Amino acid sequence: MTRVTSSTIWPADPRGLRGDAPLLDACLSFLEAVQRPFTIPGHKQRSDLVGTVIAGDVPLYAGLDTMTPSAGVLGQAERRAAQLWGAEVCRFSVGGSTHGNQALALAVAQPGARVIVSRSLHRSLLLGPVLAGIEPVWVRPQVNPSTGLPVAVSVSDVEAALRAHPEVRAVFLGDPSYVGTFGDIAGHARVAHAHGIPLIVDAAWAAHFGFHPDLPLHAIAVGADAMVTSAHKALPAYTQAALVLANTDRIDASRLERAFGATHTTSPAGAILASIDAARSLLERDGEELVGHPPGRCGETATESHRGSGRARRPGRGPQQARRPARRHRCQRV
């Protein structure tokens, strides 16, 4: 089989990740081989029909793995991600956090049940109860009186909603918010668990949390039962790349698997899946170094922006930010 040697066609592996990323390795191996597969996609890796827009489009089935699939590279990659985030279950999604949120809505309750839902959540989780046939009990975030921006749903408000609706089957929160604020996930987990129900967190913008000492720990590390995060927002993965991470003390693993499969495509794009695996490997190995650049630059920018008014602000933590314990790459369950 002929090997492609030109890195101008497909950037190979600039940081040497493929040895630790089975999906990335399978994807690069497929692209390095000159072949005309008899399976989908219909472009057959030809660029003379619609151009290079299809470059790198590799399916999971009969691409990264056999049609069966027998090599199990997706499962290997998902287990590595589960270990990194300290979860029992991890699934890679090519449908974004939207897919993960809606799969979890289907997984945690039967039709007709009630769940607590933050009113400021992404529309995917606002539509999740509609798809699942469950009824939301709304809780609203507090508002910063100085800025008028929503901050976080308070633990006391969730606790009050649980007392008023003891039949609730789960709590759904979004953290961090779309304006960058975050709340007391550990406190929410304690309250939810005291009522015997799971806490699910839409952490779409927080795939980097827990991998730098100046950032909060991620939701799973502080007690959430499930977390959805986008690998294409804060990590360098393909658009639509996301992860669903869960512990199964309060979530039925088989029901979650069925809900995930029922709402996912049966033709997942292998390149998207491989990019999740690559981003996980990069985060695990180089995360603290790479994640540390933006906070430092933001602090410099904040200082510069206040010099004109004669007020130099020292970069620091806002009232919503609690100091986190020492960094742990492989976070332990709480």
Pair type for strands 89-93 and 242-246: antiparallel
Question: What does the pLDDT look like over 103-138, one tens digit per residue?
Answer: 999 999 999 999 999 988 888 877 888 889 999 999
Two structure tokens written together for 70:
């027998």
Output the pLDDT for position 316.
Answer: 36
Q: What φ, ψ does residue 199 adopt, rounded to 5°? A: -105, 125
Question: What does the pLDDT look like over 15-69, one tens digit per residue?
Answer: 999 999 999 999 999 999 867 888 889 998 888 899 999 988 999 998 899 887 7
Share of the chain above pLDDT 90, in %: 66
Helix, strand, or coil (residue 123): helix
Q: What φ, ψ does residue 139 adopt, rounded to 5°? A: -125, 140
Q: Which long-range contacts (CB under 8 A, 24 or more apart) does 11-17 make?
A: 15/282, 15/286, 17/278, 17/281, 17/282, 17/285
Q: What φ, ψ does residue 3 adopt, rounded to 5°? A: -105, 135
Two structure tokens written together for 237:
């993965």
Domains of the chain: 84-266 (3.40.640.10)
Mean pLDDT score across all residues of the chain: 86
Output the pLDDT for position 299.
Answer: 59
Instruction: Please check whether residue 260 is in contact with residue 246, taking contact to mean a CB–CB distance below 8 angstroms.
Output: no
pTM of the model: 0.85
CA distance 18 to 229: 22
